[in-house]
Chain A
């Protein structure tokens, strides 16, 4: 079964699925530290780079290692919960556990506690993988992204050195480094190596084995209220999101359905619209915001109707059009600030760009309001996901041209591609520069393709 295992390990949710099966020289699925070290030693002895894989649900394709010769180390057998400390509010876990698995363990002991990072792939995405892409999900507005919810990370470098990065003063950019190599420890400490570096690094800095995660009680607010805000046009939707951000409403759920070229979804949700959950104390404020915006229809709903809409929203990422199939060409658009006030213009331009490259827009939806990291800054806005109708004859040239055109549009219009999906075109970004700097210290042996591949190489991987 070894050959079959090497072939199948390339399975993942991104558009980059055409991974040369022979490029996976060996697959390791370690269960403990010794096995991790043995896997890394194999790669080192054979002079091969290492790609880490979690659940393979990310849209970036980082877990594939592209079609380059490499060793894959899966974390899918590293699922132990090592400690849960309710007094101090943390859980220590192995990197392969999913948020759903962790929350099941937490809630078995205290039903009103939880780990607050919940991307829609929380049933399969591993905490190690979510940190590598700095995932967030619909709790990010209040709880932040993965970087904000990790207190400590343990990772291994190419020489088998264990590196522990411990957050200081709850600051993502400050950390204490402990390492089995004192020389490496000093270098990393001197270069201010921190959790924010590992977040969104797409596995370029080492193999993440263990994490200490923040856990908290469920909302301090009781008496949640539910509402659906229907916007007559896209600018009105952008304006609601803008005003909710300005008023800093502690929404416990905020999701937008921007557009849906799907009769069933459209009939059931009537986009553009927002699905909202907030504390009773803020009902009047939310209502006032919505009612002050022309063309917005605010509807308080019961929990059952809220849950129905939530269910439709969570499944949208994976839905197919009534005829044909979906494709996620360019997964995340970060739209914030004044861009929210010209939301219609932005969406129209995105759709025109898609169409000019041969892609038919299908659905757009996203966490709104939400937060994400952009360089050193935390940005508040919508993280909009997009799905296109898959062209019947899809070519790598189309993908290449489509992504280039969208990147150009994003740069021109001030749309921030979601960090998770930035790597294929990120050579000028602060993150790219920082990772390049850190890999001169840690070595360029983990997922090097993230930092040195061309978009052309990646476009060839589209299946």
Chain B
């Protein structure tokens, strides 16, 4: 047995198969099929161990599809009284599945070749949105990293915000606040490679690490004291896997702004439903800063069910239809269209997922600029 297989076997033994993870799982809720539930996925492994002769490649391939049909939201880990680290098991199983069935997913090729999830020219990473911001930031090009440039703070933009036009307004808001605070910040431009988080999620850890080595080398050259990002997935990758010098602080933008801003000149006094991004609050442990910042802005927070929007775990890539079904079910369950609901969040992926399902949604930064009269 390999060390990884041994580790999985030990993790598996913790699970008592009680089923508490089933009805809270967004995938189970959308499919109503037990093989897609966390318990079902673990039972497959237990059963395979008990009856190895009954399992073949065809069955393993079906199982591999279920393993990638997961938002990795971590709610199953949160609820598990047996303390089973289910997402750790799923990550390892994703790795195994990709090795066994290399053609299962194609997104890895995009990241490996072009260093971003969209397979677009990486030099376009900043150009695609800076053009729209010249009116507000005529000197924006000076903020883009070149050899020899240093800064106190690095704003790690992430693939999603770099290439998807919806996020230009969020970027504009974040940059305006950084300027307002007088921060000495820098953007990495074409030298920002994907954080590797999507590769981790599809089981390609080695390839992810290569991208991270590049990013970390640029961070070191810049000599920044703080790295900020708005993307919870990037934050997780930066915190957990980039091996950044411990003296450098890695923060979500809401943590950074909450530290810097005590009050605002224009309290908004509006009521919004806050969607906690799963990766931000479960994996990165950032729960209070977004709420504290929203309270300062004058947002009356209505808490939503701590459930995934359907956009996590690369589900939008592996099964977009199911990702949308998860959101459709939430819309019904939480009556999001029956009430005049506006959602606020702080994750580009969650934001897109809500908007694509016609729920008016904004990033906290978009309200912050209004509260600061910027």
Chain A residues packing against B (C-beta within 8 Å): 1, 3-5, 7-13, 17-22, 29, 55-57, 74, 76-77, 98, 101, 121, 123-124, 315, 317-320, 325-326, 328, 390, 463
Judge whether A325 and B13 touch: CB under 8 Å: yes
Given contacts A121-B20, A124-B18, contact A463 B46 (CB under 8 A): yes
| Docked complex Cα distance between A390 and B66 (Å) | 30
Assuming A7-B44, A17-B43, A320-B14, what are 20 further A-B pairs, CB within 8 angstroms?
A4-B59, A7-B59, A8-B35, A9-B34, A10-B43, A10-B47, A11-B39, A19-B47, A55-B19, A57-B20, A74-B34, A76-B32, A77-B32, A124-B19, A124-B20, A124-B23, A318-B81, A320-B83, A326-B16, A326-B82
Q: Are B32 and A8 in contact (CB under 8 A)?
A: no
Q: Is the CB of B43 within 8 A of A11?
A: yes
Q: Which A residues touch B47, using CB under 8 A?
A: 7-8, 10, 17-19, 21
Measured in the bound complex, the distance between the Cα atoms of B350 and A287 in whole Å is 53
Known A13-B17, A318-B81; judge A21-B54 contact (CB<8 A): yes
Q: Does B1 contact A (CB under 8 A)?
A: no
Q: Is the CB of B50 closer than 8 A to any CB of chain A?
A: yes
Q: Give chain A residues whose Cβ lies under 8 Å from the Cβ of B340.
A: none
**Residue on A nearest B33 in the bound complex, by CB:** A5
B34 pairs with A320, CB closer than 8 A:
no
- B73 vs chain A, min Cβ distance (A): 17
A203 and B40 alpha carbons, distance in the complex (Å): 22
From residue 1 to 46 of chain B, which have CB atoms closer than 8 A to chain A? 13-14, 16-20, 22-24, 32-35, 39-40, 43-44, 46
Distance (whole angstroms) from the CB of B132 to the closest CB of chain A: 45
**Complex: how many Å from CA A391 to CA B13?**
12
The reply on B62 being an interface residue by CB < 8 A is yes
Name the residue of chain A whose CB is nearest to the CB of B14. Answer: A320
Query: In the bound complex, how far is the Cα of B16 from the Cα of A5, in angstroms?
Result: 20
Which of B16, B20, B47, B63 has the most chain A CB atoms inside 10 A of its CB?
Answer: B16
- CB closest chain-B residue, reference A324: B13
Q: Is the CB of B18 within 8 A of A20?
A: no
B62 pairs with A4, CB closer than 8 A = yes
Most buried by B among A8, A22, A317: A8
Contacts A315-B81, A318-B81 given; indicate if A5 touches B18 (C-beta within 8 A).
no
Contacts of A21 in B (CB 8 A): 47, 51, 54
Q: Would you mind naming 8 contact pairs between A and B with Cβ atoms under 8 Å apart?
A: A18-B50, A18-B51, A21-B51, A101-B23, A124-B18, A124-B20, A318-B80, A328-B16
Contact A13 B18, beta carbon cutoff 8 Å: yes
Q: Is the CB of A13 within 8 A of B50?
A: no
| Measured CA separation A57–B39 after assembly (Å) | 11
Instruction: Report the minimal beta-carbon distance from B313 to chain A, rounded to whole angstroms.
Output: 19
Contact partner of B22 among A3, A7, A55, A325, CB < 8 A? A55
A57 adjacent to B82 (CB under 8 Å):
no
Q: Chain A nearest CB: distance from B33 CB in Å?
A: 6
Using an 8 Å CB-CB cutoff, how does the interface string of B47-91 with A read, 1 for contact, 0 for none? 100110010001100110010000000000000111100000000
Q: Helix, strand, loop or mixed for chain A's interface? A: loop
Q: A328 — which chain B residues lie within 8 A by C-beta?
A: 16
Q: Which residues of A contact B24 (CB under 8 A)?
A: 123
Task: Check A325/B14 contact, CB under 8 A, given A5-B33, A124-B22.
Answer: yes
Give the residues in chain B near A318, CB-CB below 8 Å: 16, 18, 20, 80-82
Q: Chain A contacts of B13 at CB under 8 A?
A: 325, 390
Contact of B18 (CB < 8 Å), options: A3, A77, A121: A121
Q: Flag if A5 contacts B34 (CB, 8 Å).
A: yes
- Interchain CA distance A261-B358 in the complex, whole Å: 53
Q: Which of B46, B63, B82 contacts A320 (CB 8 A)?
A: B82
CB distance A317 to B18 under 8 Å? yes
CA distance A463 to B51 in the complex (A): 11
B265 to chain A, nearest CB (A): 39
| Complex CA distance for A275 and B35, rounded to whole angstroms | 38
Give A315 Cβ to nearest chain B Cβ, in Å.
4
- B43 contact set on A, CB distance < 8 A: 8, 10-11, 17
Q: List the 5 shortest-distance A-B pairs measured between CB atoms, nearest first.
A: A318-B81, A11-B43, A315-B81, A124-B19, A8-B35
Beta-carbon contact of A17 and B17 below 8 Å: yes
Q: Which residues of B contact A12 (CB under 8 A)?
A: 17, 19
Are A1 and B14 in touch, CB under 8 angstroms?
Answer: no
What A residues does B62 contact at CB under 8 A? 1, 3-4
* Bound Cα distance from A145 to B117, whole angstroms: 55
Contact of A22 among B39, B54, B66 (CB under 8 A): B54
B18-A11 in contact (CB<8A): no
Bound-state CA distance A357–B132 (Å) is 75
Contacts of B39 in A (CB 8 A): 11, 56
Give the shortest distance, in Å, between B120 (CB) and chain A (any CB). Answer: 34
Least Cβ distance of A135 to chain B in Å? 14
Structural contact, A11 and B63, CB atoms closer than 8 A: no
Question: Among B23, B63, B83, which residue has its beta carbon within 8 angstroms of that of A123?
Answer: B23
Distance, CA A318 to CA B76, complexed state (A): 14
B61: nearest residue on chain A (CB-CB)?
A: A4
Complex formed: what's the CA distance from A328 to B17 in Å? 12
- Smallest beta-carbon distance B45→chain A, Å: 11
**Contact yes or no, A11 B40, CB < 8 A:** yes
Specify which chain B residues have a CB less than 8 angstroms from the CB of A77 in the assembled complex: 32
B14 to chain A, nearest CB (A): 5
CA distance A4 to B59 in the complex (A): 7
| A29 and B16 contacting across the interface, CB-CB below 8 Å | no
Complex alpha-carbon distance, A429 and B59, angstroms: 43
Q: Which residues of A contact B22 (CB under 8 A)?
A: 55, 124
> Which chain A residue lies CB-closest to B51?
A21
Task: Give min CB distance, B9 to chain A, whole Å.
Answer: 11
* Complex Cα spacing A45 to B46, Å: 32
Give complex CA distance A37, B23 in Å. Answer: 26
Assembly CA distance A123 to B81 (angstroms): 13
Closest to A56 in B: B19
User: When A1-B35, A5-B35, A9-B34 are in contact, do A319 and B19 touch as well, CB less than 8 Å?
Assistant: no
